[in-house]
Chain A
Amino acid sequence: MTYLDHAATTPILPEAVAALTGALSTYGNASSLHSSGRRARRAVEEARESIADALGARPSEVIFTSGGTESDNLAVKGIYWARRAEDPARVRLLVSETEHHAVLDAAHWLAEHHGARLTLLEVDDFGRVHEDTLRAAIAENPDDVALVSVMWANNEVGTVNPVRELAGTCAKHGIPFHTDAVQAVGALPVHFGASGASALTLSGHKVGGPYGVGALLLSRDVACTPVSHGGGQERDVRSGTLDVPGIVAMAAAVRVATEQREERAARLAALRDDLVRAVRAVLPEAVLNGDPGESLVDGAPSRLPGNAHFTFPGCEGDSLLMLLDAKGIECSTGSACTAGVAQPSHVLLAMGIEPAPARGSLRFSLGHTSTAADVRALAEAIGPVVERARNAGLAGLRRGTSPAAAEV
């Protein structure tokens, strides 16, 4: 099996498995006052301190959640509500067009049901938000902006945003800045404090931890109204009994992923460059989408090291995916919906790509288990697969509809 979909989820790290299974055989509610509870609480707090240390945050800034989607929703809705409660004029949300649906749909929902005014920040052809775009959007009326949310690195095309610059612009106006760093943690140097962000989303299973656990890093001075109510376990911002095994396993994964980040990122970037070269050697017409990855943003790579995203002209993504799947190569069309129908990606459309080529795109994402053999397998398979998918694309074009055409 050639697994090239690490951006969807990456295999759990042995260190995380050890932490998870170790914790699974213990018990105790971290909110209980007896010794079992204290033991659980201690494990959670050590995990919190470990994550804070790894990501340049203070332990009190780590709020455990059920994953990236919850963290994004909590940040967008919670900070919006809190900001509007302080000043009813603050109803504007500035969100980049290429956000994950967890941010985008939360923002649309606030616009539909909670009086928010949504401004989508335009991106360039690589999918990047420029500081002057944000500055101009804020300048329309700095006093009515509730929140800005721009992802650290895009999950589909891998383009890295100038987070420090964007956060700095927000800071000048006292506007909270949230960033979805689900793809960035473990791949780029993520330092919450240095970034200047007010809130940052991370997810356990994207860094080699378990599913169903994540965190929101939230500055102490940023108010956030809870989305779900209950015991108030996490700073009164997030309720629910803490998932002790999930949390300690995520902490183990974050620890390993950040400690090994530099070496791993360099290895994956080299492997990714091999992959891009190999695909282009077979298919010169394949278009690499997103930032070329040859420059620096905030001193780090301008593209996620493990990301390669191509458009294969004349092909449909679902055909490509099926044919590669049949050859044991697993990748992604980059977006999915509940019915499993491939819609053209909103990220690619925002980058100015037409719907037809957008449908003919695939994301290959590398991770800690990726090898040169994976790249070779793809290089060998991709040529015939694209040729076949292109024929199928042609077959999908309308036949003559005259009656004669329907006869034998």
Chain B
Amino acid sequence: MRVLAAMSGGVDSAVAAARAVEAGHDVVGVHLALSAKPGTLRTGSRGCCTVEDAHDARRVADLLNIPFYVWDFAERFTEDVVEDFVAEYAAGRTPNPCLKCNERIKFEALLDKAIALGFDAVCTGHYARLALVDGKPELRRSADLAKDQSYVLASLTADQLARAMFPLGDSVKADVRVEATERGLAVAEKPDSYDICFIPDGDTRKFLTAKLGARPGHLVDDETGAVLGVHAGVHGFTVGQRHGLGIDTPAPDGKPRYVLSLEPVNGNVRVGSADRLAVSEIVASRPIWPSGTPLAGTVDCVAQVRAHGGTSDAQASLVDGQLLVRPTGDLRGVAPGQAVVLYRPDPAGDVVLGSGMISATR
């Protein structure tokens, strides 16, 4: 196969590309320039597609003896990921930009271009298992549950997954690092990235305030309706958040308060005790089926509502084009804007049944 390997300059995509080469594929490496200001060198642990990252990726390609190019997707990334991220927060939702980047950049803009240029697949260093079963894609959790990225890949369609390649799905991160060292890749010891790549200092609230300005509103007690304080904008909050609320007086019963819901229109941030965070039903729009097969009837599954943690047994069904998910366990802090991903438990790796974007909770 002719494979286009997306190479970020990190250890995972480097080893993924190396494995694709070793598997006998005809591989070309591409580094995506996503930042509108690429002229900066990395500071601290991690920046966004810096000159240094491009250099690291290029050095890996040298070693693998594959052609390497830098492709500019900064404009698409800014529109589809960064601006979407800001707009979602402004609308009182909590977006996942990595998921959006996979959906719109790596497996849409890049994949489409790759296919048009004659490639058969795009290879990335994601931790998720992908196989074709009866001609249909089957996406499973990674063998490394701590690094599993099936959640941020679950919004890919069967069409997209059919042309994706995740060579690291069966590996654990520690082994990938060892392999990188054995292969002599200079990126073997490069630190993992955790932050949102376009917010290198990790201060999301500061980033959003710079983009959106102050949009003051009230912090409202969900039970009594009492105004407990003021805030600079709903974009500074996420459902389930406890810290940084800026309320001076403790609750009468001394229980910690959490953000329960965001009301961007009137600017209210509703807060209350942890027990009020529990949800009994999740409505999710825009359902996507990695295998191409929609959910039939009511299905017992495991629902995951954020990238790390937040899982519960659940019953899910497709009603009028929307996913209805009823957690049977205790699921708290479910934020609209995040994806809900449904898994069928399996000892060989939980299988992704489908996903949707959380639009409401009850």
The chain A residues found within 8 Å of chain B, CB to CB, are 318-319, 321-323, 325-326, 337-342, 388-389, 391-392, 394-396, 399, 403, 406-408
Contact = CB atoms under 8 A, between A and B. Distances in A.
A403 to B, nearest CB: 5
A408 B289 contact: yes
Interface residues of B, number: 32
Given A318-B71, A322-B69, A392 B116 contact: yes
Contact of A395 (B39, B71, B113, B285): B113
Interface in B119-171: 157-159
Contacts of B289: 408
A52 B6 CA distance: 51
Interface of B: 28, 31, 33, 38-39, 51, 54, 58, 67, 69-72, 74, 103, 108-109, 112-113, 115-118, 157-159, 285-289, 292
30 contacts: A318-B71, A319-B113, A321-B69, A322-B28, A322-B67, A323-B117, A325-B67, A338-B38, A338-B51, A339-B33, A339-B38, A339-B70, A340-B33, A340-B69, A341-B70, A341-B74, A342-B72, A388-B116, A388-B117, A388-B118, A389-B117, A392-B112, A392-B116, A392-B117, A394-B116, A395-B115, A403-B285, A406-B286, A407-B286, A408-B289
Contact of A399 (B69, B108, B286): B108
Nearest to B159: A408
A172 to B, nearest CB: 41
A406 B69 contact: no
B157 A408 contact: yes
B39 A339 contact: yes
B286 A392 contact: no
What secondary structure prevails in chain B residues at the interface with A? mixed
Contacts of A406: 103, 157, 286, 288
A406 B38 CA distance: 30
A341 B58 CA distance: 13
A332 to B, nearest CB: 13
B135 to A, nearest CB: 14
Contacts, number: 73
Contacts of A395: 112-113, 115-116
B9 to A, nearest CB: 11
6 closest A-B pairs by CB:
A392-B116, A340-B70, A395-B112, A395-B116, A391-B116, A339-B38
B113 A392 contact: yes
B16 to A, nearest CB: 20
Nearest to B111: A395
B357 to A, nearest CB: 9
A319 B117 contact: yes
B8 to A, nearest CB: 13
A37 B118 CA distance: 59
Nearest to B289: A408
Main secondary structure of the interface of A (DSSP, over half): helix
A399 to B, nearest CB: 7
A338 B41 CA distance: 11
Output the residue of A318, A322, A340, A406 with the most chain B CB within 10 A: A340
A1 to B, nearest CB: 14
Contacts of B71: 318, 341
A403 B39 CA distance: 35
Q: Count chain B CB atoms within 10 A of each CB in A322, A323, A388, A399 and give the residue with the most.
A: A322
Contacts of B158: 408
Contacts of A391: 116
Contacts of A399: 108, 112
Contacts of B74: 341
A326 B67 contact: yes
Nearest to B32: A341
Q: Count chain B CB atoms within 10 A of each CB in A322, A341, A394 and give the residue with the most.
A: A341
Given A339-B54, A340-B69, 17 more contacts: A318-B71, A322-B28, A323-B118, A326-B67, A338-B39, A339-B70, A340-B33, A388-B116, A392-B113, A395-B112, A395-B115, A399-B112, A406-B103, A406-B157, A406-B288, A408-B157, A408-B159
Nearest to B70: A340
Nearest to B112: A395
A255 to B, nearest CB: 36
A407 B158 CA distance: 9
Nearest to A403: B286
Nearest to B290: A408
Contacts of A392: 112-113, 116-117
A406 B159 CA distance: 10
Contact of B54 (A318, A323, A340, A342): A340
Contacts of B116: 388, 391-392, 394-395
A322 B285 CA distance: 40
A395 B112 CA distance: 6
Contacts of B108: 399
Contacts of B115: 395
B54 A407 contact: no
Contacts of B58: 340
A375 B261 CA distance: 67
Contacts of A325: 67
B129 to A, nearest CB: 20
Contacts of A323: 117-118
Contacts of B70: 339-341
B73 to A, nearest CB: 9
A325 B68 CA distance: 11
A339 B67 contact: no
A267 to B, nearest CB: 32
A392 B28 CA distance: 16
A396 B28 contact: no
Nearest to A394: B116
A395 B286 CA distance: 23
